[in-house]
């Protein structure tokens, strides 16, 4: 916006050329007119154009249009080059802002071991039960710098590290694209332009198995909504059998020598009837988990076989894919019929009641098909996520000790969905594979 302060102080602006002044015809004309209103003239040296001249605006329009087309051509060439690199599977990273990697002599990413240790720590802390906010606090307490070298960590930075496939050695290319070559506005790629997934494109910092475990845990916490606090590995995993609410930590004798922490149903005294489930100490929960774990591992091979059977059923999406394809076809057909109905109404004299009845029926049919498609897609997504859960569970069983003598926080996080506390103090543990064991 041209400031009123310019009026009376400046009467001439000299610039090299129209192309340097603006590459957008509309912006250049708007700016020129605002300056003209205040009696300010612009002289373009290269083209010899004076804006207060009667021919000036016409010449500027022509020259700006040429400059805009030149900008468009350059942008399209750059975009084509970038997409060609993506199609060829060539990976590039913003190394100054990307933790764990640096540019190698051959131009390919190589691991920076000092930074990679921070990435591994973030993944380990998350699988240990910490939230991204909790991880930020710990990194700041340990004076670990951010990817940009700052001391203050942002939750979004930790989340992006936990979700970035590049840390397992793969690369998803063309995540975003430029919508407008003039404004340079970017948007997430939601299928508008091709994406390319390159497996094993560079050295991995995190194993694919650990990366998948983190994605499963992210999905589990997301399903809990705001219930997951990350204050303890027991948060959002101990459930009251009476009311279905979560157990939370409570401090007894907080001001004297008998101070201790117990876990109790958060809603125990809410409502008219208090829950009859007892409180538990951390030691009791840990001891019960060890018994349940050893019982589970005593039948490990059968559990793995059962999980593989379920996994085979989940991954067979032939029927589901056929139904999705059918719904897509239905939506395409109805969309065409809606278009024909509108065009006919616009070009032919027909009763509006008849038109509205036909149009309304098609809209209902379309909405029904879209709703059904969303349900089918959700079902398929759930199957894929459940499959990831089971694959991770099978891998964890394979790589875990047959007998556990001491509490293992990571195994608790990776194997247990929840522990439901009964009135008699027993705990029913539900494992990711679907097995339920009461201790």
* Fold assignment, 95-207: Hect, E3 ligase catalytic domain fold (3.90.1750)
Task: Answer for the pair 432, 393: CB distance below 8 angstroms, yes or no.
Answer: yes
Q: Give per-residue pLDDT as tens, 151-176.
A: 899 999 999 999 988 899 888 776 66
- C-alpha 215/C-alpha 28 separation (Å) is 49
Q: Picking from 108-122, 134-148, 184-198, 358-372, which range would have the lowest pLDDT averaged per residue?
A: 184-198
Over residues 303-328, the mean pLDDT reads 88
Distance CA 49, CA 56 (A): 6
| DSSP helix/strand/coil, 94 | coil
> Which tokens belong to 434?
């679907």
285: which strand partners? none
Distance, CA of 125 to CA of 140 (rounded, Å): 14
Residue 2 has pLDDT above 50, yes or no: no
Dihedral sign for Cα 392, 396, 397, 398, please.
positive
Of all helices (H) and strands (E), which one includes residue 436?
strand 436-438
Which tops the pLDDT comparison, 89 or 340? 340
Domain boundaries, the chain: 4-77, 95-207, 237-298+402-438, 312-399
Structure confidence by residue, pLDDT tens digits, 237-273: 899 999 888 888 888 877 777 788 889 998 888 777 7
**How many beta carbons lie within 10 A of that of residue 102, not counting itself?**
13
* 430 pLDDT more than 70: yes
Please tell me which residue, 374 or 61, carries the higher pLDDT value.
374
The pLDDT > 90 percentage for the chain reads 20
Mean pLDDT value across residues 79-99: 67
Q: What is the pLDDT of residues 26-55, one digit of tens each?
A: 566 677 777 777 778 777 776 667 766 656
Per-residue pLDDT band for 89 (boundaries 50, 70, 90) equals: low
Query: What is the CATH code for 4-77?
Result: 3.40.50.1390
Q: What would the mean pLDDT of 404-429 be, rounded to a whole number?
A: 89
Q: Which two tokens stand for residue 127?
A: 């699988």
Q: Rounded CA gap, 399 and 26, in Å?
A: 64
**Can you tell me which residue has the tokens 């101070």?**
259
- 179, 187 contact by CB (below 8 A): yes
Closest CA to 277 of 288, 269, 265: 265
């Amino acid at each position: 916006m041209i400031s009123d302060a310019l009026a009376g102080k400046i009467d001439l602006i000299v610039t090299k050329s129209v192309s340097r002044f603006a590459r957008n015809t509309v912006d250049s004309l708007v700016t020129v007119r605002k300056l003209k209103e205040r009696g300010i003239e612009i002289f373009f040296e290269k083209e010899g154009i004076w804006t207060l001249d009667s021919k000036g605006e016409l010449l500027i329009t022509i020259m700006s249009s040429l400059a805009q087309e030149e900008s468009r051509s350059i942008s399209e060439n750059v975009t084509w080059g970038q997409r060609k690199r993506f199609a060829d599977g060539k990976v590039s990273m913003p190394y100054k802002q990307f933790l764990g990697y640096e540019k190698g002599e051959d131009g390919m990413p190589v691991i920076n071991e000092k930074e990679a240790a921070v990435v591994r720590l973030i993944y380990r802390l998350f699988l240990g039960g910490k939230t991204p906010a909790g991880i930020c606090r710990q990194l700041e307490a340990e004076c670990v710098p951010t990817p940009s070298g700052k001391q203050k960590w942002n939750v979004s930075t930790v989340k992006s590290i936990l979700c970035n496939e590049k840390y397992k050695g793969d690369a998803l290319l063309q995540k975003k694209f430029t919508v407008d070559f003039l404004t340079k506005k970017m948007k997430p790629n939601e299928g508008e332009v091709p994406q390319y997934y390159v497996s094993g494109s560079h050295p991995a910092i995190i194993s694919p198995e650990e990366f998948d475990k983190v994605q499963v845990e992210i999905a589990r916490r997301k399903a809990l909504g705001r219930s997951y606090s990350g204050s303890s590995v027991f948060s959002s995993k101990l459930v009251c059998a009476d009311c279905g609410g979560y157990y939370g930590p409570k401090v007894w004798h907080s001001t004297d020598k008998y101070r201790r922490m117990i876990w109790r149903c958060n809603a125990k005294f809410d409502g008219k009837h208090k829950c009859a489930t007892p409180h538990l100490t951390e030691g009791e929960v840990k001891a019960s988990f060890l018994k349940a774990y050893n019982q589970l591992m005593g039948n490990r091979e059968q559990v793995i076989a059962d999980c593989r059977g379920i996994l085979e059923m989940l991954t067979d999406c032939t029927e589901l894919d056929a139904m999705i394809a059918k719904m897509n076809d239905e939506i395409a057909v109805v969309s065409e019929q809606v278009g024909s109905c509108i065009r006919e109404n616009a070009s032919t004299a027909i009763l509006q009641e008849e038109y509205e009845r036909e149009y309304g029926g098609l809209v209902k049919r379309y909405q029904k098909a879209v709703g059904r498609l969303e349900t089918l897609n959700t079902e398929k997504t759930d199957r894929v996520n459940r499959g990831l859960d089971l694959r991770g569970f099978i891998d964890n069983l394979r790589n875990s000790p047959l007998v556990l003598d001491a509490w293992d926080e990571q195994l608790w996080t990776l194997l247990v969905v929840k522990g439901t506390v009964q009135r008699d103090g027993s705990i029913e543990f539900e494992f990711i594979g679907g097995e339920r064991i009461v201790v």
